[in-house]
Structure 1
């Protein structure tokens, strides 16, 4: 026989506090009332309020500052990044990729080392080769773009790019299998020009070339 599970009071209190935050009763950066006031408002004990605050602090919504109080640091619980990407449409992912990679191309042109440039050129050469299947071609393309982001020498941008790869890879494979792609020569030239702009430390051209190429890719995917 199934048993009714009782939700702990602290969990209920955390849900109520989160509901107040979501409804904008407290704005971002606002200080929450004291434990006694909150306990009275929610009809629970102070220890329950402390546990509820601890839960929401662990989720990034609240922050306890020693001697100052409890403050709102986010207006909702942030979803896991993988979940967001899985649910997002591929066009939205490409638009985010444009924002990341165009800036990364600029930084790559400014910061690339001789070693990083060699990696970009090797990835470009590998991308030109005949590949046995669609998957290997897409993987070669991803390696080229990753080499550019890596040359930007910004670990946050690289982490963001890497998080996109699984979602992008599948979309690219599906696009190519459906026969939807950019003209081969035009596509290769776009990648070669981007690599050359980075080699010449031309940040402005690298930015524009990256943005133009990815915008065309977005159009092909729509």
Structure 2
């Protein structure tokens, strides 16, 4: 192991990078206990607080794990892939299946919990989707995602809202490609308007079964298109 003293700049980032590189090179195999904070601080030429922060960053990357009373151990030699990166790499059908699980339940909750403000937001998003139909495919997909986001928000669960927000960027580009490839708007510039309007109405009226059923059918249809495109 040849750790060099660091230059004065963002020391935590430098310490994290050097330790990460050593772990990835196999200097400390999986299962190995890292040297103590004092030893690492001396080797890197930094304070113990800097080493401590670097170890926290490595733990966040899934490379090391602190075990109380025993030290810090290497648990992987490759950093864990973050969630947004995993979504970007995933097959669109896989992302869509998980999206369905999230959104169908969100629609049911929205019908039970919606407020007047939620209904107004969904109605405004529905109108914006209709207006976007006159534009290009990217604008239409953006407006469609915004309507679905409004439905999820009406569920009143911030975890669901954040989860959908993570899905949206992974969906957007590939949905634009699917709309173009399958020519979904060739004969109808505003596909799915009737079902989306019915969804908003069901949520407004507090009909949870209808809301979840409408959205299930809508997403099932899109997923079928995606599977057809892949076959």
- Give TM-score, length-normalised by structure 1: 0.70
Please list, as runs of the form range in 1=range in 2, the aligned pairs for 1:78-97 lying within 5 A after superposition: 78-97=80-99
**1:111 matched residue in structure 2:** 113
Please list, as runs of the form range in 1=range in 2, the aligned pairs for 1:63-212 lying within 5 A after superposition: 64=66, 77-129=79-131, 130-181=133-184, 184=188, 187-212=192-217
1:120 Cα offset (Å): 0.5
Aligned partners of 1:213 and 1:150: how far apart in 2? 19
SS at 2:81 equivalent: coil
SS at 2:148 equivalent: helix
Residue by residue over 1:162-210, the C-alpha shift from the partner in whole angstroms, topping out at 9 and shown as x without a partner, is 2222221212221222244388587222212211111121222222221
Structure 1: gaps (5+ residues): 22-32, 40-44
Aligned partners of 2:122 and 2:164: how far apart in 1? 16
1:59 Cα offset (Å): 2.8
Question: Structure 1 pair 158/69, CA: closer, same or farther in 2 (3 Å)?
Answer: same
Aligned partners of 1:92 and 1:151: how far apart in 2? 25
Aligned residues: 198
In 2, are the aligned partners of 1:180 and 1:221 still within 8 Å (CA)?
Answer: no
In 1, are the aligned partners of 2:102 and 2:160 still within 8 Å (CA)?
Answer: yes
Aligned partners of 1:17 and 1:214: how far apart in 2? 49
Question: Structure 1 pair 17/116, CA: closer, same or farther in 2 (3 Å)?
Answer: farther
1:57 corresponds, among 31, 41, 59, to: 59
Aligned partners of 2:28 and 2:156: how far apart in 1? 38
What's the RMSD between the two structures over aligned residues? 3.8
Structure 2: gaps (5+ residues): 5-17, 41-47
Structure 1, 180-189 or 204-213: larger mean CA deviation: 180-189
- Give TM-score, length-normalised by structure 2: 0.67
Please list, as runs of the form range in 1=range in 2, the aligned pairs for 1:42-53 lying within 5 A after superposition: 45-46=35-36, 47=39
